[in-house]
Amino acid sequence: MSDLLQRLRDRGWRLTAQRRVIAEVLEGEHVHFTADEVHARAVERLPEISRASVYNTLGELVSIGEVVEVTTDGRAKRYDPNAHQPHQHLVCSGCGVIRDVHLSGDPMGALPEGERFGFSVSEVSVTYYGRCPACAGAGVG
Amino acid sequence: MSDLLQRLRDRGWRLTAQRRVIAEVLEGEHVHFTADEVHARAVERLPEISRASVYNTLGELVSIGEVVEVTTDGRAKRYDPNAHQPHQHLVCSGCGVIRDVHLSGDPMGALPEGERFGFSVSEVSVTYYGRCPACAGAGVG
DNA sequence: TTAGTTGCAAAGGCTTTGCACGCGC
DNA sequence: GCGCGTGCAAAGCCTTTGCAACTAA
């Protein structure tokens, strides 16, 4: 579940400085950066990295399944490197912080057969909204 | 659950032609238009209506709770007038069509206390992804 | 060597904003 | 008549794209 970099090497990825830096930025728990935040952090390590490369790389990481795209209610998409452990999200409606959470049952089972309209259902996304301790205390939002 | 227009009147809303037309466009089951689709349909009834008014009105309907904003993976937000009956969504990853669905249990209960990180959780959004019968048959997407 | 990656800058889609005019109440 | 709502056009944010130069393998 760690060492995204190693997995990318194993896949035979062409490992450029830009891609390495982006992978490094994405290490950690509860990491859910926007493309722009990834870019800002990448620039600290590699000043000449461009936004286009960040978008390209994130898009590829998503398409090979190493990163998951998260769309909360805000504008910009966020990128979640925790792609190998099924989980859902808890979002603070005050400050927007996201935590990974794990549910007690399989949410797929909550959709009755009679509610499937003939679809072949393959995925489910569950997002909880609330206030984090800091925002609840400060009355933010 | 029907007659959005009447509810708006009861709220003392200033009822302009534009707002009336937008409310009319939003009547019906399984309606999940983007702002632009609402505008296109509104134009058929009131050719001079502007996009800005559509955005303004939709934004207000959302903030007073008469319409729910739906963010699927696509780009543009969609607007769901079925705000008074709790429900979730089933999205076709082929053509993007959305159906309202009703779950067998309360998804809020699936988040264990130990996974709440001190948040006061107030809402949950559940979205299922799959292929509608048409797209499954045609191999679209 | 060479195919894939990068940076730049421009364009694109969706949404918001500023301001003068118009209209519901 | 007053104040909010509207239309227009321009700007804004996030993202994608075209293309020549570059570089990992």
Does A119 contact B at CB distance below 8 Å?
A: yes
From chain A, pick out residues whose CB is under 8 angstroms from the CB of B109. 104
Is the model's pLDDT at B98 over the cut of 70?
A: yes
Model pTM score: 0.91
- Helix (H) or strand (E) run with residue A121 in it: strand A120-131
With cut-offs at 50, 70 and 90, classify the pLDDT of residue B93.
Answer: confident
Q: What's the N-to-C CA distance of chain B in angstroms?
A: 34
| Mean pLDDT confidence for A67-96 | 91
A126 close to B (CB below 8 A): yes
**pLDDT band at residue B114 using 50, 70 and 90 as cut-offs:** very high
B111 shares contact with chain A (CB less than 8 Å):
yes
Q: What is the mean pLDDT of chain B?
A: 92
- Which residue(s) pair with B24 in the sheet? none
**CA atoms of B10 and B107, how far apart (whole Å):** 33
Q: What is the pLDDT of residue A89?
A: 96
Do residue B110 and residue A115 have CB atoms under 8 angstroms apart? no
Q: At A72, is the pLDDT very low, low, confident or very high (cuts 50, 70, 90)?
A: confident
Whole-angstrom distance between the N-terminal and C-terminal Cα of chain A?
A: 34
Residues found in chain A = 141
Per the structure block, which two tokens stand in for B68?
Answer: 């729910």
In order, the DSSP letters of B1-64 are ---HHHHHHHTT----HHHHHHHHHT-STT--EEHHHHHHHHHHH-TT--HHHHHHHHHHHHHT
Mutate to test the interface with B, among A115, A122, A131 (most CBs of B within 10 A): A115
Q: Is the CB of B111 under 7 A from strand C?
A: no
Contact map slice: B 21-80 vs A, CB within 8 A: 69, 71-73
Range with lowest mean pLDDT among A70-79, B15-24, B97-106: A70-79
Grade residue A94 by pLDDT with cuts at 50, 70 and 90.
Answer: confident
Q: Which residues in chain A have their CB less than 8 angstroms from residue B118's CB?
A: 132-133
8 A C-beta contact, residue A129 and residue B124: yes
Task: Answer whether residue B11 shows pLDDT above 80.
Answer: yes
Proportion of chain B above pLDDT 90, given as a percent: 82
Nucleotide D22's nearest residue (CA vs C1') is A16
- 3 state DSSP class of A130: strand
| Protein CA B20 to sugar C1' C9 (Å) | 44
From the list A83, A86, A113, the residue with the least C-alpha distance to A23 is A83
Report pLDDT for A139: 60
Q: How confident is the model at residue B1 (pLDDT cuts 50, 70, 90)?
A: very low
* Chain A residues closer than 8 Å to B69 by CB: 73
In this structure, what DSSP letter does residue B121 have? E
pLDDT-derived band at A82 (thresholds 50, 70, 90) equals very high
Say which residue the tokens 């990825």 belong to: A13
- For the segment A2-49, what is each residue's pLDDT rounded down to a tens digit? 589 999 999 999 999 999 999 999 998 899 999 999 999 999 999 999
d(CA B98, CA B96): 6
- SS3 of A3, please? coil
Contact B126 A107 (CB under 8 A): yes
Q: What pLDDT is recorded for position A35?
A: 97
Judging contacts by C-beta atoms under 8 Å, the chain B residues touching residue A103 are 110-112, 115
